[in-house]
Amino acid sequence: MNLDAHIPAGALETKWQRYKSTLPLVSPANKRRFKIIVVGSGLAGSSAAATLAELGYAVECFCFQDSPRRAHSIAAQGGINAARNYQGDGDSVFRLFYDTVKGGDFRAREANVYRLAEISGAIIDQCVAQGVPFAREYGGMLANRSFGGAQVSRTFYARGQTGQQLLLGAYGALARQIALGKVTMHARHEMLDLIVVAGRARGIVVRDLVSGTLRSCCADAVVLATGGYANVFFLSTNAMGCNVTATYRAHKRGAGFANPCFTQIHPTCIPVSGEHQAKLTLMSESLRNDGRVWVPTKKGDRRAPHEIPEAERDYYLERRYPAFGNLSPRDIASRAALQVCNDGYGVGRSGMGVYLDFAEAMQRLGQDVIEQRYGNLFSMYEEITGEDPYRTPMRIFPAAHYTMGGLWVDYNLMSNLDGLFVIGEANFSDHGANRLGASALMQGLADGYFVLPYTIGQYLAAAPVLDKSAAEKTAAQTQQECQQSIAALLNIKGKRSVDYFHRRLGKIMWDNCGMARSAASLQQALQAIPQLQEEFQRDLRVPGGGASLNQSLEKAGRVADFLDFAQLMCRDALAREESCGGHFRTEYQTAEGEAQRNDAEFTHVSVWQHRAAGEPQLHREPLQFSHVALAQRSYK
């Protein structure tokens, strides 16, 4: 497997600018003749599809929701980072770069991260020009807030609905291109497979979710912007439809999957309330700007929070990490919460929760200010739990949230398969072993607006012309295989629903490959999952047929892929014998219980190659650090 990252030569600070100006161009007249498929209409997909169309390419865009505007990006709450230093608090491109590399526990590529930080400012410009109503100060200038893992205020936001506003901006740009006839949009379509001809991505097979019809779509290049796979845990903060199908099926066709075990558990979610639950709700990390996290100092203290005097509260984040306190990075805050709960200090009925308390902030700033900053989050909390967070502290607990791993891509965002580009959460590129808050929106839009539209031109300028008849032959073959796997799912005719299996898989993954992992737990999962998979293949029931809207069938296909993929995740976690970022192996920790990296052996990206028979094969892309010294991450 060729894992050359194609990082251009030259100084880190000028690499991207220089490289961009030397990329071969495609003439405007020729662009029209190139067809590009974009799968996904979240921030990454919408921004890419719109920009590619503006440049003159013929674009076809697909999403499984009924409208591109409903992609999961819509749910992002807290904000988007950019190194603008509008607050004059000492921010810079280098500082954002540094924070991101350090936040990722030194497992990301320096060149990619620097480019991301460099582009970040232009994203804000673009969004403001589109009419994104970011929060403003009284003087009319843009407002900022802080997020975990940073000591500057660089996060731009639109109340608690930043993702929504950014996506509506990108969706607007996309809608404009649809109206101009430059983008053909296919909502309620699901990609089921990648068409690969002679080592090149040449199209996809999709299922029209309303009619059930399968169709192949050939193109000069395929862009996957299909989001993350946190739903492998069943319960997560992701939307119900988020899945690994597009990327995993591309993986089965030859694309390397990088760092699948790097998953992020978010510290501030509403605790699980029962078996019936279908998903978990995030309470934006921005709440940690003003909320203080604590548990009682006595084990099993069942008093109501207001009855617990100040002296009997342990503000454990402030105590353990005085420099960053409540704004410690996510992996650290999540693990600390799990630890206090496992030690018996947790609160709430299940004991699996900690307090996030606004009393002090309300005294300092007044309820008005808190309401302005977090009003919608507070009312969301109240609707779900029936408790009023203005009066009683919120109860929070970590939940699966984001996946740093994804398909491997080079500096051009192209996978090891020629012509297959991967952007947004679906790729592995910029966040290393842990993503900082407000950086996913930044990365999705950087990829879609400002990176891919340039780098894809270089590929198209040099790629051989699409051999239509060869592509169509492979397409027919691939489509037939999809048809067969659908028939197979419908024909099991067992007794159990898809959700039944998904819930069980989620539990195996959460218990054994979640916030803390060990060789023993991972091996256990690697035994349990194949058994579950075997049961799935024997006892699944998918009512209805394949020739109409069938939501059970859609879920069945996704869960079938999760069952396969979960094993890859465990394998990866097992192979990485160190702790770093969101990947915490209990065998590898310091005396104080912090993650212990093993730089000598694991300063690399782990890239897995699928093999039709036998176990997947591990390849490594070594990482070099020349601008940031590898150090133990400290937020003390």
Partner 1 sequence: MNFKLHVWRQRDAQDKGRMVKYAVREIGAEVSFLEMLDLLNEELTEAGEEPIAFDHDCREGICGACSLVIDGVAHGPGRGVTTCQLMMRNFRDGADIFVEPWRGRAFPIVKDLVVDRSAFDRIIEAGGYVSCNTGSAPDANVTPIAKQDADLAMDAAQCIGCGACAAACKNSSAMLFVAAKVGHLHLLPQGRVENQTRVGNMVKAMDAQGFGACTNQQECEAVCPKEISVNFIAQLNRNYVRALLDV
Ligand X SMILES: Cc1cc2nc3c(=O)[nH]c(=O)nc-3n(C[C@H](O)[C@H](O)[C@H](O)COP(=O)(O)OP(=O)(O)OC[C@H]3O[C@@H](n4cnc5c(N)ncnc54)[C@H](O)[C@@H]3O)c2cc1C
Report, as residue numbers or ranges, the catalytic residues: 330
Interface residue with ligand X among 51, 100, 162, 429 (CB under 6 A) is 162
Interaction residues for ligand X, span 246-265 (CB under 6 A): 246
122 binds partner 1 (CB under 8 A): yes
Question: How near is the Cβ of 382 to partner 1 at its closest, in Å?
Answer: 11
**What is the helix (H) or strand (E) element at residue 316, kind and residue range?**
helix 316-320
Interface region with partner 1, contact rule CB under 8 A, candidates 28-36, 329-337, 393-401, 494-502 = 494-502
440 binds ligand X (CB under 6 A): yes
Interface residue with ligand X among 36, 38, 59, 75 (CB under 6 A) is 75
168 binds partner 1 (CB under 8 A): yes
582 binds ligand X (CB under 6 A): no
3-state secondary structure at position 189:
strand
173 binds partner 1 (CB under 8 A): yes
Partner touching 453 among partner 1, ligand X, none, CB below 5 to 8 Å by kind: partner 1
Interface residue with ligand X among 36, 52, 59, 63 (CB under 6 A) is 63
Side chain identity, residue 365: L
Residue of 433, 477, 436 lying closest to 595 (CA atoms): 433
Question: How near is the Cβ of 55 to partner 1 at its closest, in Å?
Answer: 9
Interface region with partner 1, contact rule CB under 8 A, candidates 43-51, 334-342, 580-588, 599-607 = 43-51
Interface region with partner 1, contact rule CB under 8 A, candidates 119-127, 459-467, 585-593, 611-619 = 119-127
Q: In the complex with ligand X, which residue's Cβ is closer, 205 or 525?
A: 205
Q: Distance of alpha carbon 113 from its chain centroid, rounded? A: 16
Measured N-to-C along each axis, helices 498-513 and 519-539 cross at an angle, to the nearest 10 degrees, of 170
374 binds ligand X (CB under 6 A): no
Do residues 265 and 514 touch, judged by C-beta distance below 8 A? yes
Q: Do β-strands 292-296 and 257-258 pair in parallel, antiparallel, or remain unpaired?
A: unpaired
Interface residue with ligand X among 112, 120, 243, 264 (CB under 6 A) is 243
Do residues 173 and 130 touch, judged by C-beta distance below 8 A? yes
406 binds ligand X (CB under 6 A): no
Q: In the complex with ligand X, which residue's Cβ is closer, 174 or 513?
A: 174
Q: Distance of alpha carbon 635 from its chain centroid, rounded? A: 24
Q: CB neighbours (10 Å) of residue 344?
A: 12
Per the listing, tokens 């791993």 go with 405
Q: In the complex with partner 1, which residue's Cβ is closer, 180 or 520?
A: 180
Q: CB neighbours (10 Å) of residue 85?
A: 18
Q: CB neighbours (10 Å) of residue 564?
A: 17
Interaction residues for partner 1, span 452-471 (CB under 8 A): 453
Interface residue with partner 1 among 138, 304, 311, 622 (CB under 8 A) is 138
In angstroms, the CA 482 to CA 212 distance is 12
Question: How near is the Cβ of 541 to ligand X at its closest, in Å?
Answer: 23
In angstroms, the CA 433 to CA 103 distance is 8
Q: Find residue 605's DSSP bridge partners.
A: 621
Which ranges of 133-194 does DSSP label H, i.e. alpha helix? 162-179
Interaction residues for partner 1, span 147-166 (CB under 8 A): 158-159, 161, 164-165
Interface region with ligand X, contact rule CB under 6 A, candidates 62-70, 102-110, 255-263, 578-586 = 62-70
Interface residue with ligand X among 38, 50, 59, 78 (CB under 6 A) is 78
Interface residue with ligand X among 15, 50, 53, 77 (CB under 6 A) is 77
3-state secondary structure at position 501:
helix
Do residues 197 and 470 touch, judged by C-beta distance below 8 A? yes
3-state secondary structure at position 524:
helix
160 binds ligand X (CB under 6 A): no
478 binds ligand X (CB under 6 A): no
Residue of 626, 578, 605, 572 lying closest to 261 (CA atoms): 572
Interface region with ligand X, contact rule CB under 6 A, candidates 16-24, 252-260, 424-432, 499-507 = 424-432
Partner touching 570 among partner 1, ligand X, none, CB below 5 to 8 Å by kind: none
In angstroms, the CA 269 to CA 572 distance is 26
Partner touching 159 among ligand X, partner 1, none, CB below 5 to 8 Å by kind: partner 1
Interface residue with partner 1 among 18, 24, 32, 137 (CB under 8 A) is 137
Partner touching 277 among ligand X, partner 1, none, CB below 5 to 8 Å by kind: partner 1
421 binds ligand X (CB under 6 A): no
Interface region with ligand X, contact rule CB under 6 A, candidates 21-29, 50-58, 76-84, 506-514 = 76-84
**Exposed/middle/buried for 480, CB within 10 Å: 0-12, 13-18, 19+?**
exposed
In angstroms, the CA 160 to CA 171 distance is 19
Do residues 603 and 106 touch, judged by C-beta distance below 8 A? yes
226 binds ligand X (CB under 6 A): yes
Q: Distance of alpha carbon 381 from its chain centroid, rounded? A: 23
420 binds ligand X (CB under 6 A): no
Q: In the complex with ligand X, which residue's Cβ is closer, 286 or 579?
A: 286
Interface residue with ligand X among 357, 425, 572, 578 (CB under 6 A) is 425
Per the listing, tokens 């809207």 go with 549
DSSP 35-83: EEEEE--SHHHHHHHHHHHHHT-EEEEE-SSSSGGGSGGGG--S-EE--
| Contact track, partner 1, 376-415, x by CB under 8 A | ---xx--xxxx-----------------------------
20 binds partner 1 (CB under 8 A): no
Instruction: Name the residue number minimizing CB distance to ligand X.
Output: 42
Q: In the complex with ligand X, which residue's Cβ is closer, 351 or 546?
A: 546
| Contact track, partner 1, 271-290, x by CB under 8 A | --xx-xxxx-xx--------
Residue 52 Ramachandran class (φ > 0 left, ψ -120 to 50 alpha, else beta): alpha
Enter the tokens of residue 554: 């859609």
| Contact track, ligand X, 90-119, x by CB under 6 A | ------------------------------
In angstroms, the CA 397 to CA 319 distance is 19
Per the listing, tokens 């989001």 go with 227
140: CB partners within 8 A, 6+ apart: none
- By CB under 6 A, name the binding residues for ligand X: 39-45, 62-65, 71-73, 75-80, 162-163, 190-191, 225-228, 237-238, 242-243, 245-246, 282, 401-402, 424-426, 438-441, 444
